Amino acid sequence: MRVRKARTGDAEAFANVLARVAEEGLIAAEPPVDVEDRAVKARETIEAEGPGVLWVLEEGDAIIGAVGVHATRARGVLSLGMMVLPEFRARGGGRGLLAAALEHARNSGAHKVELEVWPDNARAIGLYASAGFAVEGVRRSHYRRRDGKLRSAMLMALLLVDDEP
Give the whole-angstrom CA distance, residue 105 versus residue 126: 21
Domains and their CATH numbers in the chain = 2-159 (3.40.630.30)
User: Of all helices (H) and strands (E), which one includes residue 32?
Assistant: none
Q: Strands 77-84 and 112-117: what pairing?
A: parallel
pLDDT in tens, 116-145: 999 999 999 999 999 999 999 999 999 999
Q: What is the mean pLDDT of residues 9-21?
A: 97
Give the whole-angstrom CA distance, residue 158 versus residue 138: 16
pLDDT at residue number 164: 64
pLDDT at residue number 50: 74
pLDDT at residue number 72: 95
pLDDT in tens, 73-116: 999 999 999 999 999 999 999 999 999 999 999 999 999 999 99
Q: What is the mean pLDDT of the chain?
A: 95
